[in-house]
Amino acid sequence: MKSLLAVLGAAVLLAGCAGGPRIDTRYSSVGHDSRVQFIVVHYTSSDFARSLSILSGGDVSSHYLIDQAPPTIYRLVDENRRAWHAGESEWRGRTWLNATSIGIELVNAGYQDSPGGRIWQPYPDEQIDQLIVLLKDIMARHGLKSGAVIGHSDIAPQRKVDPGPAFPWKRLADAGLIPWPAPEQQALWQQHFALAAPDIFWWQQALARFGYRVPQHGELDEATRNVIAAFQMRYRPARHDGEPDIETAAILAALDEQAAPR
């Protein structure tokens, strides 16, 4: 009899293990937020068929892919899972952002080199319309604030240039998704810097406050130029040569002033 009871007891324990632990969910904490802190925008550098093949069948992935014609949104990875789109990256002190971000790939050829320089493919308005709808939905569900949307070139400025200077960041600003410098503040700062241009250490500090990983040694090296170029692709795409000119400085100072606590 004891042997039978032992067998039955063991069977009950095994059944419990097979079904997982019994968890009481009557209580919950208010101290939490979403694991998602950022949304990273990319271009695919290829057409839809090749983009889909790469993003769905290999070591590179993204949560969403948005085609051009028709501008269809495809979900490739559940938002609760980590997609492999960011690689070695950093923004606002957080590193390896795959774990804390949602990746969105836009079907876009990127650029072609020509004797006259790089020619960047534009983004169709309809594709950006769909992107904005998706961004607003993601930000609302995850409780993200303006500024959570960033480009691949922002988080990896030493090795990436997407979504490139043809990407319409101003449209995202008009939709309330990213900060944008107030024209009057920018004009005042430009007048100020026309009298005394900031030194390189100022640039490095201001860019770091904005979110970039940038050297802090006061020298205009290649790494610093790459970060300035990434910033320019967002806010002054007509010229993104990485040169620390006073117009770019005024844009950065105006944004820095707007972000300062009051």
pLDDT tens-digit series, residues 93-117: 999 999 999 999 999 999 999 998 9
Question: What CA–CA distance (Å, rounded) separates 112 from 118?
Answer: 6
The CATH class, in words, for 38-174 is: alpha beta
Per-residue confidence (pLDDT) for residue 10, from 0 to 100: 46
CA angle 136, 142, 146 (to 5 degrees): 55
Architecture of domain 183-256: Orthogonal Bundle (1.10)
Query: Tell me: the pLDDT tens digits for 33-89?
Result: 999 999 999 999 999 999 999 999 989 999 999 999 999 999 999 999 999 999 999
Mean pLDDT over 230-245 rounds to 98
**CATH 1.10.101.10 in the chain, residues?**
183-256
pLDDT reading at 18 higher than 60:
no
**CATH 3.40.80.10 in the chain, residues?**
38-174
CB 77 within 8 A of CB 61: yes
105 in catalytic set: yes
CB atoms inside a 10 Å sphere around CB 25: 5
CA atoms within 13 A on the CB side of 95: 2
Query: Tell me: the pLDDT tens digits for 166-187?
Result: 999 999 999 999 999 999 999 9
Per-residue confidence (pLDDT) for residue 262, from 0 to 100: 53
Dihedral Cα 211, 65, 84, 118, nearest 10 deg = -60
Question: What CA–CA distance (Å, rounded) separates 81 from 79?
Answer: 5
Catalytic residue among 79, 88, 90, 105: 105
Per-residue confidence (pLDDT) for residue 230, from 0 to 100: 98
pLDDT band for 260, please (50, 70, 90 cuts): confident
Mean pLDDT, the chain, integer: 93
Per-residue confidence (pLDDT) for residue 8, from 0 to 100: 43
